[in-house]
Amino acid sequence: MDYITNEFEEYTSPLTGEVIKFNPSSRAFCILKTPTKEEFNELLQEYVNAKIQITWRELLEPLNKDLSKINGDRIRLFAATKASGSDKKFMPTYIFADSYTKAIGEETSYQCHLKVESFSIEEQKKLAEAIKPNSLEEAKSLFKEGSFHHNDALGYRFIDEVIKPQDNFTEAVNAMASLLNEVVADSGIKSKRFRLQHSNKTPRNTLELLSFLHAKGYVLFPYVRKLSEDPFEYWMLHKNNVRHCEYPELVNPDAYEFVDRIHQASEASRANKRLGSNAKTMVKASTFTRIEQISDELLDRQVELYEENYQTSSSSETTTRTNGSAFNAYTNMCRDIFNSKHNNPALKLKHRKYMRKTKKTIYELADFSLYSDKLPELKIWTELLSQYCLSINDTQFQLRISSARYFLDWLSGLEHIPQSPLEIVRTIHVNDYAEGNTLRNHLKNRYSLKASNRHLSMYRQFFDFCHDTLYKNPDNRESLSTFVNPVDTKWDRFAEGSSPGSKRTPIESRIMNEIRNLIIEDDYAFPKKAFSFSYVHLTNHETGEYEHNVFCPSVANLLYFMLWIPIRKIQAQLLDSGEGDDFIYDFDLEKFVKNENKIGNEKRQEGLLQTLPSGVLGITDVLGLHITTNKTSDDGYDIPWVCDELLASLKNQYQWLRKYSPYPERRGKDSLGKLLTEESIMTDKTFYCLFRDPSQQRSDDQSKPVATHIITKAWGLLCNEAEKRINRKLPETHRKISLTKEGAPTESRYDIHTLRVSGITDLLDKGVPLGIVQKFVAGHKTYMMTLHYDNPSHAKVREYLEAARTKDSNVSDFEFIESEIDQVIEHFVTNQAYANNKYTAFDALKKNAGIVSIKLSGICPGASCEEGGLDPYKKTGVPVPVGDRGPSCPQCRFWITGPMFLLGQVVEGNQLIRKIKKKVIAIDKIRESIIDAEDNGNTQLYNKLSGREERELRILSNMLTEWSERMKFYEASVRKLDAWIAYKDKNHEENSSLPISMFSKSTEEEIRYGFSQSSNLELTHFLSTVSEFLPEFIDSDDTSVPDLEQAIARFMAMNNLGDILFKLNDEQRLQATNLMTDALISNVGAECAENLLNGDVALSEFPELSRQVIELVSKSEEKIFRLDANTFESIGSN
């Protein structure tokens, strides 16, 4: 009897004197009175009759809401299904054929089916009266019970299986309550949920019968509350379950008249939709039926129960506060309705402050003693998990807390709980490769694959922590000698599909420029006109007068800053004004001066504008930007550059702050509300926010930065206006650009974080080296790992950024005319598996004018990377796989290429081959280290290396898949090229075998592509040669040139040829390296040349080659190594 109670509370109505019984329990059903056996049987018969009426009423509804469809003007009762193999044989769907013909008056079902079409809905309902059932037996002979979308439509089977086997009424109610709790417990397990849906013991029938008993005054429902951590309460409040308790035939009509009043009042006042659900909850948990029965004590008791739940909820502060406000509004609305009818006695409205959660410390969050209080066997686990969660203070603290709770939930459900980590058996507890109650299956049945993998990573870390913690006790060391981490990410990890990475489409450079100009032109004319939310009444601290409708430029200047500097939104919000610094920048004097109006006494220098050392002798310090926050560290970083346009905007912001908001307080990330993972930062520091916004509504805090929703709204307005301006300039024949959502002209297609992606992309397109851009994308793991050792001086950074500002980025600045695209389609190659789709690559090319990007190996038509992935079932919405350099374009169904892009395909293909070769070598080394760690018994290192091997294998698999897709495009492009050449030469052979080619070795005037196996040296030499003649074709992170230069330098050193290579500049050294490599390969072949460079073979073994190389180096030293291609050609000819 765990789920029923006989205890309830009583509240007396001050108006009627009636006593209202209320069930405060959140889990147990309350039995108010017990019927006799005869009374209970009569109740069950009445319930079945009510179920028959519900079924009948539902079958009288139109079959389709859209009456233009095939079975349009037809009630569900007369629905018919065509028999297979015959166009003139129809069988009724929900009723038997004899009843169908009896109601319509025709001999066959087919004739009835045709005749029904001539009747209106109302005429069909009149015909149906002839067969309306008045008893259970008549209903059985009328309805095809197996045809309904839910089991046991009449309810009697549920009674036979669940109710009648019980000895009395109390046991029957407990059986139904137990069934609901069992449904909740099994809701995440697909196999059990499937079996439940195909039985008569359904939650629908349970809720319907309990609602019927409540209406008759026998049972009260639990008082369930929103935001509860209890899955049962959440399940009971779900709309699909609530509707089963609301059939008019099963509820008290007076009670639901009150619920309707609350609904109408909330709609009239535009109040929260939650008010109606609060009313339903109170009605179900009490004997309350009319507004006259309300009392202050009953309403206050509900508020008290809500506040108890509020403090324990894990939902965000904003969510819980919103629900708390809605609940207060509901109680006052009840009082309003009461007072509108009865002024004596009147219920006084109670205006409560916002309910606020008491913030928990990290020690409280990491306290899992509630689990060990319920199950003492979990005590050692709760202590270890608490220690683990508190052991590291980083941005993954909340993830560890969640993982710990899920782990304890899983342990609590085990029949035999392991007493320590040493008792965890991998094949029993973690992954049994079946459907057992293992940790992996627990995650799989409840969470997404991505979330499950994150939790598995936490559990692997946790068991490593357990090993290290237990090892500190000498008594545990012997047993730990055989301990192996039971979580193996190689075998336990779930396949997620695409790799992580930004899938946003960058905004074109010229559009970014248009939006920049739109913000600042004519002294912020457009923001002043469009940003109505940026006006506020403030005191002018220069004149001392109170001014009305003052324009606050904070949101405009913040967006202008982000359009120049690609930082995260939260980083822009928390930029420091420097008002608390010892020295502050004077825009008129153009230098730093002592801050005479400094706020506070703390010694600090956190302002946005800073002087930064150049790092180069003879160059003075430079003015730069200090970004106060970062995503992955507690410190910010510096950008040693600021352009004049941005400096003018910052001057405007500083002047406005000194005039209207000169005395701010510090604010940190807590002032911004809930943060997205992508926008999260690590620091807990506070700042004098530069872009603070005193105009924010519903906030008296004038020191808070611009709110996120205001930034989003302003960004949408800017995109809308920029779209109009750009399209007005385009000829009528050109495709118009689209920056806003269809049907929502003030909502941008691009979120705020796209500004960061676009800015970084623009800098790279303009030639800024990745090592410089790293200063802007600090926190992106790929760049940080790739460029860990790249540390350019501030002077060099400034040089590149200054050059980029004045350099036109016209890579994507072109327009298409649709007729031009149609004319050249036959010359391109796309993914043939999707050629017949309604939306093709060329449709995307026509639609996305303004964001199309022409690359070296093909065309990106500007489609979303989120839905461009190749899928074996040709479904839409599959993301493009992401490699270490971003989305893999050849694996996108919208990718366009062709013979004109063959050179780019060749270069990128060879770069990928080289990466694959290097990855294979790296994996081999890891495997050797794994074997050594296993032989040495170093379990921790073994597990660490195994995880690394698994990651590298996944990357290799992605590379090979990309190579396969590249080859498909490459072969198709070569065939198109050969076909065109054959057509031009008029000697095309239809059945000729076309070679699969990679790079040309032909000396003919026309390029012929040929495919051959190449050594690592030939591949590296090819890419190095491309770097010399076509540097724009090579990835910035390609290491072919430095690898080959090091190999040649090592070769010269081993053979005593001097160090002249290091006396050349970059261009000369590259030329010399390529010519020397070509000479070696031409004379002795690629394999032998590779042995020469590795030192496996001495140069002296080739006397003629040795003599010529020594003579060449000697002559070159005399001429300061002025290389001549003819010299090397003579060596090659010999």
- pLDDT for position 689: 93
Tens of pLDDT, residues 15-38: 888 999 999 988 889 999 999 999
* Residue with the larger pLDDT of the pair 460 and 781: 460
- pLDDT for position 274: 60
pLDDT higher than threshold 80 for residue 434? no
Assign 69 a pLDDT band (cuts: 50, 70, 90): very low
- pLDDT for position 986: 55
Task: Kindly state the average pLDDT of the residues 272-293.
Answer: 82
- Asked if the peptide bond before residue 500 counts as cis, ω within 30 degrees of 0, the response is no
CA–CA gap between residue 1056 and residue 1114 (Å, rounded): 12
Task: Kindly state the average pLDDT of the residues 481-504.
Answer: 70
Pairing of strands 19-22, 9-12: antiparallel
Spatial CA neighbour of 867 closest among 896, 838, 894: 894
Tokens at residue 802, please? 């200054």
Task: Kindly state the average pLDDT of the residues 115-125.
Answer: 87
Assign 270 a pLDDT band (cuts: 50, 70, 90): very low
* Residue with the larger pLDDT of the pair 518 and 146: 518
- pLDDT for position 520: 94
* Residue with the larger pLDDT of the pair 832 and 25: 25
* Residue with the larger pLDDT of the pair 44 and 435: 44
Task: Kindly state the average pLDDT of the residues 553-581.
Answer: 93
- pLDDT for position 33: 92
Assign 788 a pLDDT band (cuts: 50, 70, 90): very low
> DSSP secondary-structure letter at 361?
P
Question: Among 222-236, 660-674, 706-720, 966-980, whose mean pLDDT is lowest?
Answer: 222-236
Residue with tokens 């709609």: 267
Residue with tokens 């809401």: 65
CA distances from 33 to 212, 430, 727, 759, 901 (A): 14, 48, 74, 71, 83
pLDDT higher than threshold 90 for residue 547? no
CA–CA gap between residue 33 and residue 39 (Å, rounded): 12
- pLDDT for position 781: 41
Assign 104 a pLDDT band (cuts: 50, 70, 90): confident
Q: How far apart are the first and last CA of the chain?
A: 100
Task: Kindly state the average pLDDT of the residues 253-275.
Answer: 69
CA distances from 384 to 373, 408, 466, 878 (A): 15, 11, 7, 40
Q: Which strand (E) or helix (H) includes residue 1068? A: helix 1066-1084
Tens of pLDDT, residues 697-747: 555 577 889 998 899 999 999 999 999 999 998 887 777 888 998 888 889
- pLDDT for position 630: 82
**Residues 6 or more apart from 917 whose CB is under 8 A from it?**
1016, 1019
Residue 514's CB is within 10 A of a number of other CB atoms, namely: 18
Tokens at residue 384, please? 């270890």
pLDDT higher than threshold 80 for residue 4? yes
- pLDDT for position 632: 65
| Domain layout of the chain by residue ranges | 4-34+168-341, 59-147, 362-372+379-389+397-444+453-491, 509-749, 755-806, 818-985, 1016-1133
Spatial CA neighbour of 530 closest among 729, 719, 750, 738: 719
Tens of pLDDT, residues 142-196: 988 877 767 778 888 888 888 998 989 999 999 998 888 887 776 655 445 555 5
Pairing of strands 29-31, 4-5: parallel
Assign 1085 a pLDDT band (cuts: 50, 70, 90): confident
Task: Kindly state the average pLDDT of the residues 988-1005.
Answer: 40
Assign 530 a pLDDT band (cuts: 50, 70, 90): very high
Strands (E), 839-911: 853-854, 859-860, 882-883, 886-887
Provide the CB-side half-sphere exposure for 827 (13 A, CA): 12
CA–CA gap between residue 947 and residue 490 (Å, rounded): 6
Task: Kindly state the average pLDDT of the residues 2-23.
Answer: 90
**Residues 6 or more apart from 763 whose CB is under 8 A from it?**
566, 772, 773, 776, 804
* Backbone dihedral angles phi then psi of residue 274, each to the nearest 5 degrees: -65, -15
pLDDT higher than threshold 70 for residue 435? yes
- pLDDT for position 22: 94
- pLDDT for position 988: 43
- pLDDT for position 1120: 43
Q: How many helices (H) and strands (E) does the chain have?
A: 42, 20
pLDDT higher than threshold 60 for residue 792? no
Task: Kindly state the average pLDDT of the residues 312-323.
Answer: 58
Rg (CA), the chain: 38
Tens of pLDDT, residues 629-647: 887 666 788 888 888 999 9
* Residue with the larger pLDDT of the pair 774 and 1018: 1018
Tens of pLDDT, residues 1045-1062: 788 878 887 877 776 666
3-state secondary structure of 768: coil
- Of these ranges, 320-329, 821-830, 1112-1121, the one predicted with the greatest mean pLDDT is 821-830
- Of these ranges, 613-622, 782-791, 885-894, 929-938, the one predicted with the greatest mean pLDDT is 929-938
- pLDDT for position 719: 94
pLDDT higher than threshold 90 for residue 691? yes
Helices 509-530 and 708-729: angle between axes, nearest 10 degrees: 110
* Residue with the larger pLDDT of the pair 616 and 993: 616
Task: Kindly state the average pLDDT of the residues 412-437.
Answer: 86
Full-prediction pTM beyond 0.95?
no
Average pLDDT, the chain: 78
569-605 burial code (b ≥16 CB/10 A, e <16): bbbbbbbbbbbbbebbbeeeeeebeebeebbeeeeeb
Tens of pLDDT, residues 1017-1033: 877 878 778 777 777 66
Task: Kindly state the average pLDDT of the residues 284-304.
Answer: 88
pLDDT higher than threshold 60 for residue 676? no
The sign of the dihedral angle between the CA atoms of 35, 41, 43, 44 is positive
CA–CA gap between residue 566 and residue 761 (Å, rounded): 10
- pLDDT for position 836: 60
pLDDT higher than threshold 80 for residue 1131? no
- pLDDT for position 411: 92
- pLDDT for position 675: 46
Assign 883 a pLDDT band (cuts: 50, 70, 90): low
CA distances from 566 to 333, 500, 609 (A): 48, 20, 16
- pLDDT for position 797: 62
Q: Identify whether the C-beta of residue 777 lies closer than 8 Å to the C-beta of residue 790.
A: no
* Residue with the larger pLDDT of the pair 332 and 610: 610
Q: Identify whether the C-beta of residue 272 lies closer than 8 Å to the C-beta of residue 331.
A: no
Question: Among 791-795, 995-999, 1040-1044, whose mean pLDDT is lowest?
Answer: 995-999
- pLDDT for position 575: 94
Report percent pLDDT > 90 for the chain.
16
CA distances from 788 to 603, 779, 780, 783, 1037 (A): 32, 12, 12, 8, 12
**Residues 6 or more apart from 1113 whose CB is under 8 A from it?**
1052, 1057, 1058, 1060
Residue with tokens 């001097």: 1058
- pLDDT for position 474: 84
Assign 1126 a pLDDT band (cuts: 50, 70, 90): very low
3-state secondary structure of 583: strand
- pLDDT for position 577: 93
CA–CA gap between residue 1006 and residue 995 (Å, rounded): 16
Spatial CA neighbour of 1046 closest among 1022, 1015, 1017, 1009: 1017
pLDDT higher than threshold 90 for residue 524? yes
Task: Kindly state the average pLDDT of the residues 514-534.
Answer: 94
